[in-house]
A and B are shown apart, each in its own frame.
Chain A
Amino acid sequence: MYRLINMEYATLTNQNQITIPMKVRDKLQLKPSDKLVFYESGDSVKVEKLKSIRDFDGLLKGYKHKLTKKDIEGVWLERGSKY
């Protein structure tokens, strides 16, 4: 289900802390001790829940291709071909 945030506000305390609004916590499925990651995006900053390494399981599941030494060499050669 898509969780709609619209727009939420938070106020920075003297200790530079904010409370993440409930809708945002729900949207990102945050729970205590989860980590967040901040990405620069133009003039603003994007906040995402930091994934665990196990969250990446099967990311490239559809690929039957096995990584070869040639693949790795190829990417360096591609860069080298610009010179």
Chain B
Amino acid sequence: METRKISRSRFDGTNTTSFKSRVAIDTNILVRALIDKNDLLAKILETAQEAHIPLPIFFETIFVLEKVYKQHRDVITNYVSTLISYQNVLTDSEILKDSVSIYRNNKNLSIIDCFALAYSNKNSLELITFDRKLIRGVK
């Protein structure tokens, strides 16, 4: 696999001038970008040829911003929208956009619930669940 792990020395935000052209970004990078005074994430997005952010990383980030940092869903979805607007950010953006749109408009559903709904809608599947909130969302 071409993409290699970013060396530990780069995590302090001081040595961020050179990245591998293809990188994967972890949850802590996405969250810490909002807290710390460093522009590690911005530099990655502005320089990497491919910045992969797998869906579970987005889900964790959304969870943490909502549950730990008590951020409003509008703010969280704006952040996700900005991240996936970068052309070098590679993820399953269509299903993520659908999931985030449901998440923004349904305060009682978690992002995983919304993903389950978006996935089943996209693939014309019947979503089978014991979760009553989700069953209401299906209708």
Report B-chain residues with C-beta under 8 Å of the C-beta of A65.
35, 68-69
A75 adjacent to B60 (CB under 8 Å): yes
Q: Which of A35, A51, A57, A75 contacts B64 (CB 8 A)?
A: A75
Residues 112-137 (chain B) with a chain A CB within 8 angstroms: 112, 131
Q: Answer yes or no: A2 CB below 8 A from chain B CBs.
A: no
Number of interface residues of B (CB under 8 A): 34
Count A-B pairs with CB separation below 8 Å.
Answer: 83
Report A-chain residues with C-beta under 8 Å of the C-beta of B32.
67
Cα-based distance from A60 to B79 in the complex (angstroms): 12
A53 adjacent to B67 (CB under 8 Å): no
- Determine chain B's interface SS by DSSP, over half rule: helix
Number of interface residues of A (CB under 8 A): 31
Residues 29-49 (chain B) with a chain A CB within 8 angstroms: 31-35, 37, 39, 41-42, 45
Chain A residue at minimum C-beta to C-beta distance from B75: A59
**How many whole Å from B11's CB to the nearest CB in chain A?**
13
Give a binary string over B60-82; 1 marks a CB under 8 Å from any A CB, 0 the rest. 10011001110100010111011
**How many whole Å from A73's CB to the nearest CB in chain B?**
10
**How many whole Å from B40's CB to the nearest CB in chain A?**
11
Chain B residue at minimum C-beta to C-beta distance from A50: B85
B60 adjacent to A53 (CB under 8 Å): no
Chain A residue at minimum C-beta to C-beta distance from B74: A39
